[in-house]
Structure 1
C-alpha cells in the first residue's frame, strides 16, 4: 500500500493548510467581503487538513496505522494544540459573524449564516480528527495496547476514528475498554473539551435560530 502523503510531518501539513487558507482569505478580501475573511481562512484551511488526513489514513490497514503512528514528529503535539485552539477560536469568529448577520438581510444574511454553519461543522470535525490521530499514537507507542476493541485483530485508523467520534458525541466510551493511564487521561481531556465544544455549539445554534427569525 502506498503512503499517500502519510510521511509528511505535522508541522509541514499545518503550514500548507495555513498558507492555502490565507490565500483563500486574500481572495475574499480582494472581493471586498472583508467581514468573511476570518471564516474563509479557517474553512479552507480546515477543509484541506481534513481531506489530507482522511485521504491518507482512512483505508490504511492495521500495519500501516502502526507504522504511521510510530513515526516520530517532535512538533506534533504543538501542531495538535494549534489545531484545537484554532477550532475554538473559529467559534468565536462565528459568534461575531452571527451578530453581523442579525443586522443584515437578503443574500448577505444567508451567506453569513451558511458560512457559520460550515465553520461549526469543520471545527467539530477537526477536533475529533486530532484526537483520532492521538489515540492511534498512544496505542502504538512502544508495545501496542492500552485500548481493547474486543477483537483479536489490531486496530486501524478507522477504529480510532470510531473511538474518537463516540467520545466526541457521547462524552464517554461505549464498547471499548481504556486500559492505559495515558489513554484514559487523554480521553478525559477529550470528553471535557467535547462537552465545552458542544455547549458552544448549542449556544451558537440558538443565536443562529434567533438570527433566522429576524
Structure 2
C-alpha cells in the first residue's frame, strides 16, 4: 500500500511541473515563479525534516517506505526540477527590461531549488537501488554497515558538487549507470545555475 507521504510527494512534484509550465507560458511569469519557489521550498524542507529524523539505527524498511518507486519516481522529481530550471533560464533569456531586485531574488532561489531537487531525487534512487540489490553491497560506505538516508544524500550531493564519489566505493554496474547519468545531468545543471547567476547579475541579456 502506498503511504500518504509518498502520495503527497508525487502530488507536489506534479504541482511543480504544472506551475513550471505556467512560468514558461505566462505573459508575466514572476508571480508563477514565486509559487514554484514556495512549492519547491516546502518540498525541500519536508525532505530535510525526514533526513534529520532519520537515524543510523532506524529500520531501513521504515524509511524506505517513504521513498517508494523506481526510475519513474526519479523521473517525476527530475522533471519537476528540470521544468523549474528551464523556466528560470527562459525567463532570463527573454526578459526585455532590467530585472528588479525582487525578480532577481526569485530567479536565483528557483535555480538553487531546482538544483537541490535533482540531487534529492538521486539520493532516494541510490537508496532504493542499494536495498533492492541486497545482499550484494552495491555501495560501500566507510563505517556504515546499514546506510541510511543521510548517507545516500551525502553520496548524491558529493557527486552534484564535485562529480566524484569521495570515500564511497561503487561495486555494481547498476549503480555506476546511475552515477554516470547523475554526473552528466549535474554538469548541465551546474552550468545552467551559473548561467542564471550571470543573468541575474547582468539583469537579463
- TM-score band by shorter chain is 0.7 to 0.9
168 and 206 in structure 1: CA distance in 2 versus 1, 3 angstrom threshold: same
The yes-or-no answer on 1:160 pairing with 2:152 is yes
Segment of structure 1 superposing worse, 115-124 or 77-86: 77-86
Give 1:199 deviation, angstroms.
1.4
State whether residues 123 and 149 of structure 2, in contact with CA within 8 Å, keep that contact through their aligned partners in structure 1: yes
Greater relative contact order (Cα < 8 A, sep 6+): 2
State whether residues 69 and 140 of structure 1, in contact with CA within 8 Å, keep that contact through their aligned partners in structure 2: no
Equivalent residue number for residue 116 of structure 1:
107
181 and 124 in structure 1: CA distance in 2 versus 1, 3 angstrom threshold: same
Which residue of 128, 142, 155 corresponds with 1:150? 142
- Within 5 Å, give how 1:9-88 maps onto structure 2: 9-16=5-12, 18=14, 34-64=28-58, 66-68=60-62, 70-71=64-65, 77-88=71-82
Equivalent residue number for residue 128 of structure 2:
137
State whether residues 65 and 157 of structure 1, in contact with CA within 8 Å, keep that contact through their aligned partners in structure 2: no
Task: Give every structure 1 segment of 4 or more consecutive aligned residues whose post-TM-superposition deviation is greater than 4 Å.
Answer: 16-23, 72-76, 99-102
Q: Take 2:151 and 2:168, find their aligned partners in 1: how far apart are those partners?
A: 10
Give 1:38 deviation, angstroms.
3.1
The yes-or-no answer on 1:89 pairing with 2:83 is yes
State whether residues 135 and 160 of structure 1, in contact with CA within 8 Å, keep that contact through their aligned partners in structure 2: yes
**Aligned length, in residue pairs:** 198
Give 1:76 deviation, angstroms.
5.1
Compare CA radii of gyration and give the structure with the larger one.
1
State whether residues 16 and 36 of structure 2, in contact with CA within 8 Å, keep that contact through their aligned partners in structure 1: no
CA displacement 1:65-123 (0-9 Å, x = unmatched): 61146439775533321221221221222123324656036xxx111111001001101
The yes-or-no answer on 1:184 pairing with 2:180 is no
112 and 97 in structure 1: CA distance in 2 versus 1, 3 angstrom threshold: farther
State whether residues 70 and 137 of structure 1, in contact with CA within 8 Å, keep that contact through their aligned partners in structure 2: yes
The yes-or-no answer on 1:207 pairing with 2:199 is yes
**TM, length-normalised to structure 2:** 0.81
Gaps of 5+ in 2: none
